[in-house]
Chains A and B, each alone.
Chain A
C-alpha cells in the first residue's frame, strides 16, 4: 500500500528503498470515512496527506455556496497547504468525498526529517516544486481556457472522476455554472455515440 508513495516520489526524484523506509518512520497511516472533515476554517493545518485510496477535496464558502479549489484522488497530495506552509489560520475546509486511506506527515515531523540531512531538504524542495507547479498550472488553465475547453480537458484527463464526484462539485471545481456543466455533459454523451 505504501508503495504508491514510493512510485510517486520516484517519478520526481530518485529515492532508494532504504531512504523510503526512513521516510515511512516519519509518516502516519490514517483512515477516514466518507464526509469526514480533516481541516476546518480557522484551524492551522497540521498535516499534508498523500491519498492512497479514496477522494478528498478542499473548498471554502462564498456566502452559502461551496467553492471547490481541489479534488484529489489516489496518488495525489492534499491539505490546506497555505496554512500548513505559513502557520496561519486556514481559509479552507478539507474533507473526504469517499472513504480515504492516506499517509500523513505532521509539520514538526517533516521539519525533523529536513533537519536530519541535506538529502531530505532536497527531496522536500523537489516535491514542493511539483506541488507549486500544479497550483500554477491550475490557475493558468482557469484563465487561458474557455469554459468548454476546461470541461473537455478535464473529462479527457479524469474520466474516472466524472463517475465518482457529484456533478455540482465538478462544476464548482472547474468554475463552471451547474447549468452549463449539464449542457456540456449532454454534448459529450452525444459525441461519444456518433
Chain B
C-alpha cells in the first residue's frame, strides 16, 4: 500500500486540510493522524476505477487529474460528475449500502486519488476521536452539493446552466471533451456547440 501520510505533497496536504476545515477545525497533527487510514492511488488516463456491477470499496478525493462518473441509460452514458482537484468522488450508494454499483468511474486525465477503504473508514469511525462527527459532516456537505446540482437542473434554463457552469469552471471547456460536458449539464450536443460559439463574444 502506498502510504498517504508519507507521500502526499505539502500542497495536496493543504487542500485536504482546507476541505475538512470547511466542516470542522482540524489541526495539522489531527489530519496526519487521519491520513494513516488513507492510501494514495494512481491511475493512467482512461483507466476504469470502478465498473458498474462491482462493489465500491473506496471514498476518494482527487488530488490531481480529472475523474468522471457516469451511469448507463439504455445505450447512452449520462455523466453524473466531473471531479477535479479537491473534489470527492465515489459510488455513494454502493459504498454506503454495500451493494453493487450502478455507476462507472473512470479517469479522463492521469489521476492521483487520496482514498480511504470501507474497512479503514470503519476503523477511523471507531478509533479516530473526531471520526463520527467528521463522517456525518462530510455527508451533509455532499448532500448540500447534490441538492444544489439538482435544484439547478430543475430550475435553470439550458442557457443558464451552460453559462453559469462556464463562468464558474472556465478551464473545463479545455480540459473535458464537449460530449461529456453536454451530458453532465443535460444539454443536447447540438445546443451545446451553439452555446459554446457564444462564449468568446460574451466576454467582450
Contacts and interface: CB of A to CB of B under 8 A. Distances in A.
A125 to B, nearest CB: 4
B151 A132 contact: no
A32 interface: no
A81 B93 contact: no
A68 to B, nearest CB: 10
Interface in B74-99: 78, 80, 92-93, 96-97
B151 A91 contact: yes
Contacts of B151: 60, 91
Interface string A128-149: 1101110111011001100000
A121 B146 CA distance: 23
Contacts of A82: 143-144, 147-148
Contacts of B96: 129, 132-133
Interface string B141-172: 11110111011001100000000000000000
B143 A129 contact: no
B132 interface: yes
B144 A121 contact: no
Contact of A137 (B73, B93, B148): B93
Nearest to B73: A144
A113 interface: no
A62 to B, nearest CB: 5
Given A121-B132, A133-B93, A140-B93, A128 B71 contact: no
A152 B3 CA distance: 49
B154 A121 contact: no
Contacts of A164: none
B34 interface: no
Interface string A85-116: 11000010000000000000000000000100
B154 A69 contact: yes
Nearest to B74: A146
Contacts of B97: 133
A118 interface: yes
Interface in B91-140: 92-93, 96-97, 102-103, 125, 132-133, 135-136, 139-140
A128 B136 CA distance: 7
Contact of A118 (B80, B132, B150): B132
A126 to B, nearest CB: 9
A75 to B, nearest CB: 19
A133 B92 contact: yes
A186 B154 CA distance: 27
Contacts of B140: 85-86, 128, 132
B133 A114 contact: yes
Contacts of B154: 60, 62, 67, 69, 175
